[in-house]
Amino acid sequence: YYEQGKITERKSVAMARGTRIVVSHLFSDIPVRRTFLKSDVAESNAVSRYLYTMAIGHPEISFRFYRDEKRILQTGKEQTLEETLLVLYGRSYHEALVPVKGDGMYHLTGVIGNNTYYRANRQMQFLYVNGRAIMADAIRESVESCYRAMIPNGRFPAFQLFLETDPENIDVNV
């Protein structure tokens, strides 16, 4: 256990293999930091979004997220991407999945929702390059432009895309 940056207790515990992180009273002793925090719901949603990003990007790892002792997210280990998406988003999205595959200098894999599955926001859009989650407006806009005539205005396609390439093809500063 850590409190105020110092180890307060160290003990052996019997538990399943893995890592467990419990966060409570973050910044309770640093009021200046606390003023930059948003509401509990907003901060929890940010953590949830991050864990969804990790679970989708690494379906081989099991993730569990509890907030106020209520399970928000749970995936199994050694799942496929499609199995993880079924757990996270349900059968309706799973049935709307269209596999994506492209080869060349950039190897593209993943899934995208068909034209009957769209959302009011971009929360189901995920892009990974060489295993790392990124936000790339140009790629997002390119995908969305393909759907423009097929889905209503103000709605967004869902996708989880994985781009693999030689690291020399990427400028990490952009």
Tens of pLDDT, residues 89-138? 999 999 999 999 999 888 999 999 999 999 999 999 999 999 999 999 99
Decide: pTM greater than 0.75.
yes
Q: Evaluate the CA torsion angle 3, 6, 12, 17 in order and state its sign.
A: positive
10-residue mean pLDDT series, the chain (174 residues): 79 77 74 76 88 94 88 90 95 96 92 96 96 92 94 96 91 71
How far is the C-alpha of 157 from the C-alpha of 121, rounded, in Å? 9
How far is the C-alpha of 85 from the C-alpha of 56, rounded, in Å? 7
The confidence score (pLDDT) of residue 20 equals: 77
Dihedral angle, C-alpha 18, 23, 29, 32, nearest 10 °: 110
In the chain the beta strands, taken as DSSP E runs, fall at: 2-3, 6-7, 64-67, 70-74, 97-102, 107-113, 118-119, 125-129, 132-134, 156-157, 159-164
Q: Evaluate the CA torsion angle 144, 147, 152, 158 in order and state its sign.
A: negative
How far is the C-alpha of 86 from the C-alpha of 24, rounded, in Å? 30
Backbone angles phi, psi at 88, to 5 degrees: -75, -40
Query: How many other CB atoms are there within 10 angstroms of residue 113's CB atom?
Result: 26
For residue 104, the 8-state DSSP code is: S
Dihedral angle, C-alpha 124, 129, 135, 140, nearest 10 °: -60
| Among candidate residues 59, 159, 161, 168, the one with its CA nearest the CA of residue 107 | 161
Q: Which two tokens stand for residue 56?
A: 């989708």
